[in-house]
Structures are given as structure tokens and as C-alpha cells.
Amino acid sequence: MDLESEASLLKKVVRQTFNALSIHFSKSFNAPYLHSLSPHVDRLCGFTVSLDHYLKIYNMNDSIFELTITDEGNYIINFSKDMQGIPNLSRIRLIKSRVELFNATLDSYLQSHSTISAYSTARLPVIPDPYTIDYTKKSNTKKRLRNDSAKFNFKERKVETSNFGDYKMSVLDRIRLKEKSTKETSSRMEEKLKHENYVRSQMLKFYEILYQLSPKPSSKVTLKTFSTKQLISTIQDSISLPLSDSICLDVLIKLCDTLNQPEKLSIIEKNAIKVVKISLLDREGDHKIISSHNPHHH
């Protein structure tokens, strides 16, 4: 892969990781483990994002994200310290400037380097594996979550590998670990379900906006095409709820899948840009299909 393509991939990874983290913390206090965040980032980027991408980002500028490894060998990718535990609106402003900062760092890095090198995992800070971290500043008014910040003193990592296969655990530790991973899996499933229900509950609202934008039988135009960026921005302006770009995209994709009539409504990729095509819509028939898939209409 040439340097320019790799650079534009890394810019995309930074932007979409911020989106994925925002969604994660809008629904959960759990630590953003890389293995559970990755599928969301992959979907938003449209390609598989690896640890290597993050190590390259971290090597260029370690203030964009906080990247740590736990004493159980799990990677955690998080907002940088100054972005943790602050209101969402303040964070959105910081995200924008952080994305711009990374783009500028990367552009100047490329002027003096012919390859993009990765940060060594051996140099990452090690933290105790947090089952949940309390990122809210007002922890005294909230239920204390399992770890307090005193346990989070970073220590330099001495081992060269992230393979913890030889780590000898007592039977009790193994039982605890098994219980913890069961809890994590069920909380991940719960989050996934909550997200899916939320996406479905927004479909009718989105449909109404698309219907307003769609070609009408009286007009000569039978097909309208919008870039997803343009369409999402229109939707965000029309809806009173603040919705992230990635949630909007999820709803649009779900809407296309639910109606399952690509000749009327579809999302296609054209020259690496996602495009939404809208033809004449049958409002009454479509409403019935959407309502039958909506959690509130069973």
C-alpha cells in the first residue's frame, strides 16, 4: 500500500474511532476494550481495523487516544485523559480539533518519513484489567464502580510480548475470569440489543424525511441521489435529537434492509463515497412494513 493511501486510511480510523467511542459511552460505562470496539470501527470505516493501525497513530501522536494494555493482555483504546468524564457536547468540540490535530501531525510526519512506523506494544502502559471504569467525575453521587482511580497508577511494562498464555492462574482466578467474561458477553449482548431497538425506533422518523426528499409522481424526476454525508446532515437538522453520524448511518442501512426494495431505496458505494438512491416511494405500504419491524408496534 502506498504511503498516501495508508495515510488516508489512518485519518479515517481516527475519525471513526471517535464516533465508535462516543456511541460506546452513550450506552455504557464499561472500559472500551479494543476487541469489542473493533467491529463497530470496522463497520464505520468499511475495512478491517487492526491494532497495528492504532500503534501507528499512537506513535505519531500519543495525545489523540489513550492506548493501554491490561495485566490480562487486553488492549483498551479510549478518549485521551482530558476528554474523559466531560459532557458530550464539550467532547464533540474537542473531537473535531483532535481530528484536525492528527491530520496536521500526519501530514508533517510524511514530509520527513518514507514509512509510517508503529509504537512498540512493550512500551505501552499496563493497567489492572478493569471490569468497569467509572469515567464520571461526580463519582460520589454515582454508585462506585468496581475500580477506584488509585489502582490506575501506570507502570512501565517489562515483558516483550502480549501473549499471556504462560501466565499461571489459580483455580479461583480462572473461575473469576470465566465469570467476568460471561458477564461481559451478556452485557455486550444487552448493549447490542439496546442499540438495535433504538435504531429500529428511529426508522419511521427517518423515512418521513426521506419521503419529503423523494421524487413525487407529478414530477419528471424519478430518481434522486444524495451522498450519505449530505443526507445525514439534512436528517440531523430535521430531528430535534442530537444523533451521531454513525447512528444515522445505522438507521439508514436498517431502513434499506427492512424495506428490501433496492429499486426504491438503496445505499451504494461509488468512487469510495456512499450514496443513497431514492425513487418514488409508496408511503402507506412502506409505513406498514416499517411498523411491523418496530419494537413498539408488536
- Of 18, 44, 167, 158, nearest in space to 100 by CA: 18
Distance CA 90, CA 114 (A): 36
3-state secondary structure of 166: coil
Q: How far apart are CA 226 and CA 231, in angstroms?
A: 6
Residue 56 near residue 148 (C-beta atoms within 8 A): no
**pLDDT at residue 220, rounded to an integer:** 83
Q: How far apart are CA 247 and CA 23, in angstroms?
A: 8
Quick count: other Cβ atoms within 10 Å of Cβ 32?
Answer: 22
pLDDT at 95 (0 to 100)? 93
Q: What is the pLDDT of residue 295?
A: 59
Buried b (16+ CB within 10 A) or exposed e, 198-236: bbbebbbbbbeebeebbeeeeeeeeeeebebeebbebbe
Cα 3 to Cα 9: distance, rounded to the nearest angstrom: 10
SS3 of 85, please?
coil
Helix, strand and coil percent figures for the chain, each rounded to 5:
55, 10, 35
Q: Cα–Cα distances in Å, from 240 out to 236, 253, 295?
A: 8, 21, 21
Q: Please, which residues have CB within 8 angstroms of residue 6's CB and are 6 or more apart in sequence? A: 116
Confidence at residue 162, expressed as pLDDT on a 0 to 100 scale: 39
The DSSP 8-state label assigned to residue 8 in this structure reads H
Say if domain 202-297 classifies as CATH 1.10.10.1420.
yes
- Spell out the domain ranges in the chain: 3-167, 202-297
Give me the pLDDT at residue 139, please: 38
Q: So what's the pLDDT on residue 77?
A: 95
Cβ–Cβ under 8 Å, residues 224 and 264? no
Place of cell 426494495: 261
Q: Length of the chain in residues, anyone? A: 298
Asked whether the beta carbons of 6 and 116 are under 8 A apart, the reply is yes
Tens digits of pLDDT across the chain (298 residues): 788 899 999 999 999 999 999 988 888 778 899 988 999 999 999 999 999 999 999 999 999 999 999 887 889 999 998 888 787 778 888 999 999 999 999 999 999 999 999 999 889 988 887 754 444 433 333 333 444 444 444 444 444 433 444 445 677 777 777 777 777 777 778 888 888 888 888 999 999 999 988 988 888 888 999 988 889 988 888 877 778 888 899 999 999 999 999 899 999 887 778 899 999 999 899 999 998 877 554 4
Cell (9 digits) for 106: 500526519
3-state SS class at 168 = coil
Q: Is the pTM of this model over 0.85?
A: no
pLDDT at 271: 76
Q: What is the dihedral of CA 21, 22, 23, 29, to 10 degrees?
A: 70
DSSP-assigned states of every residue in 111-169: HH-SS-PPPPGGGSPEE---S-B---S-TTTS---SB-GGGG--B----S----TT---
